Structure formats: C-alpha cells, structure tokens
Homo-oligomer: A and B are copies of this chain.
C-alpha cells in the first residue's frame, strides 16, 4: 500500500476476527515503532507485547475502553523510560510517534489497530503498570490493540480550512 493512501485510509478498528497476529507481523509492527524519531535521538521507548490470554482479559476488564482487546488477542503497550528522557513532554511525544508508526504499519499489513489511551490518565496507566509489573520509572503511554480486522474502516475527510493558518495565527470567527 502506498504511504499516502495508508495515511489517508487508516482508521481506528475495534472489531476483530480473533485470528492470531503472526510473530512476523509483530516484528514488523515493533520495527515500525523503533523507526520513529525521538528528541535527541534518545529512543526512550519500550514495547510490551501482550498475548497471554489471562493478561489480555485482565487488561480488558480493568481498562474502561479496551474491551476489544479480548477479541483482537494482541496488545502492544508502548512505554517511555524516564531515565533515558527526563523531560516528560518529550517522552510522551516520542512514544506517540512510535504508536502512530505502529498504527500505520498495522494498516499497511492489512491488520486493524486502535490506540487506547493510558497516559495521562493516572488510574489507567496504573492498572496496566500493576498487571504488567512495570516499574515506577517507566511510563505506560498507550496501548495499541492490534488484530485481524472484522470491519471496514470507512475513509473520512477531516480536512478543515479553519484549522489552517498562514504565517501568523488568525483568530477564528
């Protein structure tokens, strides 16, 4: 799939067939994450691939918006290492770029994916940290649910001229 088509047709997918994601695809998804840019090239991310059935069900039960994880069967928790990047804002930006790369790679591989927010919602991040034994100096930023899609993501046009400014901020009407 062409990169521009991938960018314009990627959608959040929340229905899955349950067919397992292959190890080869997991590796490609992670490699996409590793390929993101990062502030000062610190690459401060970690990836936790969650496929164990009990773990999947526990996360789905305790995260308010990740029920689809049980059907997808696979999640990738993208975490930021505060020892590698002390500026929390940069850490979140770096991990977000990695997450976006994983979402696009999933789409490119014919899979579906959705970004379930963790940071900055303390209780959601803590639930995932507890379940996965994530230490306190590692921030779970987002959970990417990924699987074989069971829905057609319809392309949408979000282009909005009112959000585009030229050379200076232009106050909205």
Q: A93 to B117, Cβ gap below 8 A?
A: yes
Return chain B residues, CB-CB under 8 Å to A168. Answer: 48, 55, 132-133
- Tell me, rounded to whole Å, the shortest Cβ–Cβ distance linking A19 to chain B: 19
- Tell me, rounded to whole Å, the shortest Cβ–Cβ distance linking A136 to chain B: 11
A3-B107, A87-B120, A120-B89 known; A35 vs B50 contact (CB < 8 Å): no
How does the 8 Å CB contact mask read for A98-123 relative to B, with 1 for contact and 0 for none?
01110111011100001101011100
How does the 8 Å CB contact mask read for A37-63 relative to B, with 1 for contact and 0 for none?
101000101111111100100000000
A173 within 8 A of B: no
Q: A167 to B55, Cβ gap below 8 A?
A: yes
* Minimal Cβ-Cβ distance residue in B for A171: B135
A interface residue count range (under 10 / 10 to 19 / 20 to 34 / 35 or more): 35 or more
Return chain B residues, CB-CB under 8 Å to A104. Answer: 3, 7, 101, 104
* Minimal Cβ-Cβ distance residue in B for A138: B169
* Minimal Cβ-Cβ distance residue in B for A91: B120
A141 within 8 A of B: yes
* Minimal Cβ-Cβ distance residue in B for A135: B169
Q: A2 to B4, Cβ gap below 8 A?
A: no
